[in-house]
Structure 1
Amino acid sequence: MFTAIKSQHRGVDVCVNNAGLAQPEPLLSGENSRLEDHDGCKCFTSFQVNILALSICTRESYRSMKERDVDDGHIININSMSGHRVVPNPDVHFYSATKYAVTALTEGLRQELRDAKSHIRATAISPGLVETEFASRLHSQSPEKAAAIYAGIKCLQAEDIASAVTYVLSAPPHVQAELVIIQKYFT
């Protein structure tokens, strides 16, 4: 992907990591309990997508910026409110763990960039529930359960998250938006 970006667009100036995958696998009754079974483990897939892929894209974006002397780039991690609290639903405990990791990785990235005397900024945007295909993928075996998640609460829309990204990118160079938490305003 980064080779294609380099050949078509010279490189990356802004990276928006928007991975978010949850698999319904509780801690105590999960399908796989042995480390060697990790390839079939639903929770391992969440770790690969939500943490490993985000980390690789972050590293490659930074390298692209450094290679071209871009010192005003931005790395934005779309996180989740689940990266700041654990909901009482065992189906999403692994998801919460991955999003807590995104919280830590974003802060660690900000510290590394500061130590490198870089002006590349790092931001985490943590939305509440957003109406996407997330619930239908989480509960693919039970479409009724997925539909009930969005029916029970007024959700944010994808456009709301895009507006938050635009806001972060429009901040003046001396402003570091470290964490943006957005939730649906209830009237």
Structure 2
Amino acid sequence: MEKIANQIIKYLDDDRTSWDDLDRMRMNLGIQVLMHNIIMIGTILLIAHISGILWEAMFLLFLYGTLKMCAGGIHFKRSSFCLIGTGIFVEGGVFISKQLNTPLSCIIIIYLICLGVLAIIGPQGTENNPISPLLYEKLKKRTIFLVLIYMLGTIIIAVSMDIILYIPFIAVVFETLSLLPLHIKSRIV
């Protein structure tokens, strides 16, 4: 991906006058991240389409991704591990959500436990992407807000349509679990 990113930058700044070396490095990293995300999401959604769960996978990926942008959590250092881990989460999460038959009261209790955990230990940055103190409180509030919205949506749909939508619940539980390794690691070190 680095070679492709370098070619794109070379094409965009062929006379090497638009950007300095730092700008080129930032552009290179940004293009690599964009390419990684396009390939990862495309691959996951292609597999979901083949598995017959495309719409559910898109919904779960959107809800989880939105929450992860605020709460942070574990990030894999290699693209292949990220693809495999996220793919297993999305595919597995959809299949788990289809098999769940948990009463709404239990779902609400688990939502509240996850909310408490996220409020106490979230958000979590990584070595390569730490969270600045200025951004920390804003991200914490957004995380709490999103979990409350997901929980409220689940309750409203359960009461009004007499079905429990488990995908937002799965997104919150998995995001909560993804924060734990970083929190444990920070306590040990």
Given the two structures, how large is their TM-score scaled by the length of structure 1? Answer: 0.29
- Higher strand share goes to which structure? 1
Given the two structures, how large is their TM-score scaled by the length of structure 2? Answer: 0.29
Higher relative contact order, chain-length normalized (CA < 8 Å, sep 6+): 2
> Higher Cα Rg: structure 1 or 2?
2
